[in-house]
A and B are shown apart, each in its own frame.
Chain A
Amino acid sequence: MAVEAGTGRVAPAELRRSAVDHARARRASRRRNELLRHLALAVITFILVAPFYYVFLASLKNATEIFSYPPKLLPFPPFFGNYKKLLFDTGFLRWMFNTLFVAGSVTTLKIFLDSMAGYALAKIDMTGKKVVFLAMLILLMVPIGALVVPLWALMSSFGLIDTYAALILPPLANPLGAILMRQFILGLPKDLENAARLDGLSEFGIYWRIVLPLIKPGLVVLAVIIFTDQFMSFIWPLIATTSDELQVLTVGVAALRAHGGANYGLWSASAVMSLIPVGVFFFVLQRQFLARSLAGALKQ
């Protein structure tokens, strides 16, 4: 470029020097840009994370400290009264158990239902398959919140309102898992499965011994999607249960807010404690959690 831009002749040494300069300038600007990026991200993440720290601070303050200005920015000396009250005077541990139990059940059941349905949709030539798949795609986005009236009527006609079954059954209908599993299984090489079929393995044997092990990474992502969705679900558990013993975490925490006046200490402690399981899971399964965002892209 230097040659073209100039008179047509450039001394080799000069050219070399300018190239070195150019490279150095580029490296410097690259380093500066990287630094700017870190700075921008630091500011953004600080803004996103600051609310957590503020609530964590509040949870370790007593009622008068919460209201004092300027606020203490370090939780010393810590006050554990809020946590003590949350754990011993409310049903928090029970709510937590219910959430983990319901979310665990839904996840386990759905892993099998969805992978089997995905296998049928991907590999078995059967009538009605296309119609079923299309119906699943069309109804994929219909939220449970818009269906609470008929769902309540259905569950109450089964006599299941205020049971674990009422919490576990309706979420099984979500077709996202079957659609994702179909996609995963379509991506598997045909040879393995054909070889197994020639060796006389039954269709279920192919699913169980060949397909399931191969799609294990997909199953983990699916499990993470289902579990977090269940962990966060609110409106259906709110409607499907009436007794205290069956409240899940989100419903119980909302009840803390709705009843018994303004108790900021208790609220902050419940917010912090609610986030512990998600935080732990996220830390362990970071990669799979981030793949949650890709599930949408995968559908394409």
Chain B
Amino acid sequence: MTDAVMTEGGRNAAGRLRLSPAEHRRLARKARLRRELTGWMFLGPMFLCFVLFLVVPVCGTVWWSLRTGNIASGTSFVGLQNFYDLPGVVGAGSAIANTLIFAAISVPLILVGALGVALILAKIRHGGSIYRFLVYFPVLVPGVVAALIWLFLTNVDFGLFNNVMKAFGAYPVTWLGADSALGVLAVLDVWRNIGYWAMFFVAAIIGLPTELYQAAELDGASTWARFRYLTLPLLRRIIFFAVIVSTIWGLQVFDTALVLTNGGPGTATTTVIYRVWLYVFASNNKVGFASAISLVLILVILALTLVQMRLLRDRRGID
């Protein structure tokens, strides 16, 4: 490129390069093309995967939600019929209700618990790392394995919960009965996720400005007042982020429900993704309904994502 400039351009008296406007445009265009090409060579491979296995499937979900039939042998177009029928389809309503109830129980418990643990962990002076290790360990347990472990906690005859109850002289409880199974599933999720958000909050709390706390202490603010009027407001955005993300995760519950309760008793713990799986892969081929209910989930998650992005943009505006 430098050579081209030397020969085609030429120099004026001051020793500066001088190009005719056409030449200048041509070179600029060439450089730009090179830059574009290099850029896409870097971005291309990842972008291809992103489009092929994420953008295309999202569009595919929309397409299939407008069709009916069997995924392997063929489908036909039915318009929005699937969405009109969805409330009446076996299991669709209960799946959505179960998923919402699950998130409504687990998310507040996870976040309140995690914030509590984080407030203690952030202040501890010695031996914090061993607690962090232990609190975080359940986070790394795959859902399937976590559910297996909970089979041993909730078993009526020899489960840990009932053994503890027996030790205190109480009657054994059927933990995975129709009324309580969804709650147990939510508490399992609390056990698995509390460490993740606790570490998240610890990092946020450690990053808070200490001068404010010293000032508050000098003014005689109680521990509660410092939490209520300093920590909570300062962490507001962090907490909001955690609420959105943990809700999105909660809406995806599937593997623990499959292994711990088999979606039962009845349909008591059959969640949305569980239902998708049943519609397509486990029983009859209701690919249209499966896609329609998937699309509902995707739209809810996209809406939550947009709220989150909006919030972040607002913050950037203020900074």
A154-B56 contact in complex given A50-B160, A124-B35, C-beta closer than 8 Å: yes
Q: Quick one: CB contact mask for A46-58 with B, threshold 8 Å, 1 for yes?
A: 0011111011001
Q: Quick one: CB contact mask for A104-132 with B, threshold 8 Å, 1 for yes?
A: 00000000011011011100111101001
Nearest CB in chain B to that of A52: its residue: B149
CB pair B42–A253 under 8 Å, yes or no, is: no
Nearest CB in chain A to that of B245: its residue: A296
Task: Tell me, yes or no, whether A90 is within 8 Å of chain B by CB.
Answer: no
Stretch at the interface among A9-17, A36-44, A78-86, A187-195: A36-44
Q: How far is the CA of A146 from the CA of B293 in the complex (A)?
A: 9
Output the residue of B47, B58, B150 with the most chain A CB within 10 A: B47
Stretch at the interface among B10-18, B20-28, B178-186, B250-258: B250-258
Task: Tell me, yes or no, whether B265 is within 8 Å of chain A by CB.
Answer: no
CB pair B160–A54 under 8 Å, yes or no, is: yes
A142-B49 contact in complex given A54-B153, A126-B36, C-beta closer than 8 Å: no
Question: Which residues of B are found within 8 Å of A77, using beta-carbon distances?
Answer: none
Nearest CB in chain B to that of A34: its residue: B125
Residue of A51, A126, A150, A154 touching B40 (CB-CB under 8 A): A126
Question: Which residues of A are found within 8 Å of B238, using beta-carbon distances?
Answer: 297
CB pair B145–A275 under 8 Å, yes or no, is: yes
Output the residue of A51, A54, A129 with the most chain B CB within 10 A: A51
Question: Which residues of B are found within 8 Å of A113, using beta-carbon distances?
Answer: 45-46, 49
CB pair B142–A250 under 8 Å, yes or no, is: yes
List residues of B (247-295) whose CB comes within 8 Å of A's CBs: 248, 252, 254-255, 258-259, 273, 276-277, 280-281, 287, 290-291, 294-295
Q: How far is the CA of A150 from the CA of B52 in the complex (A)?
A: 11
Question: Which residues of A are found within 8 Å of B132, using beta-carbon distances?
Answer: 286, 290
Q: How far is the CA of A146 from the CA of B149 in the complex (A)?
A: 26
How many residue pairs bridge A and B at CB < 8 Å? 295
Number of interface residues of A (CB under 8 A): 98
Q: Quick one: CB contact mask for B118-146 with A, threshold 8 Å, 1 for yes?
A: 00110111110101111111101111110
Q: How far is the CA of A289 from the CA of B238 in the complex (A)?
A: 20
Stretch at the interface among B83-91, B104-112, B188-196: B188-196
Question: Which residues of A are found within 8 Å of B255, using beta-carbon distances?
Answer: 234-235, 250, 254
Task: Tell me, yes or no, whether A138 is within 8 Å of chain B by CB.
Answer: yes
Q: How far is the CA of A148 from the CA of B38 in the complex (A)?
A: 34
Q: Quick one: CB contact mask for A135-178 with B, threshold 8 Å, 1 for yes?
A: 11111111101111111111010000000000001101111001
CB pair B124–A38 under 8 Å, yes or no, is: yes
Task: Tell me, yes or no, whether B77 is within 8 Å of chain A by CB.
Answer: no
Question: Which residues of A are found within 8 Å of B277, using beta-carbon distances?
Answer: 148, 235, 238-239
Q: How far is the CA of A274 from the CA of B160 in the complex (A)?
A: 21
Output the residue of A33, A138, A271 with the most chain B CB within 10 A: A271
CB pair A152–B71 under 8 Å, yes or no, is: yes
Question: Which residues of B are found within 8 Å of A44, using beta-carbon distances?
Answer: 117, 135
Question: Which residues of B are found within 8 Å of A207, using beta-carbon distances?
Answer: 42
Question: Which residues of B are found within 8 Å of A153, using beta-carbon distances?
Answer: 60, 64, 71
In the A-B complex, the 4 residue pairs with the smallest Cβ-Cβ separation, listed nearest first, are A150-B60, A126-B39, A173-B53, A117-B46
Residues of B near any A CB (own CB < 8 A) = 35-36, 38-40, 42-43, 45-47, 49-50, 52-61, 63-64, 71-72, 117, 120-121, 123-127, 129, 131-138, 140-145, 147-153, 155, 157-158, 160, 163, 166-167, 191, 194-197, 199-200, 203-204, 237-238, 241-242, 245, 248, 252, 254-255, 258-259, 273, 276-277, 280-281, 287, 290-291, 294-295, 297-298, 301-302, 304-306, 309, 312, 315
Beyond contacts A141-B248, A257-B148: 12 other A-B pairs, Cβ-Cβ < 8 A, are A41-B121, A113-B46, A124-B35, A143-B297, A146-B276, A146-B294, A147-B298, A250-B145, A257-B144, A278-B141, A286-B133, A293-B196
Cβ contacts A to B, 6 pairs, < 8 Å? A51-B150, A154-B57, A175-B50, A235-B273, A286-B129, A297-B200
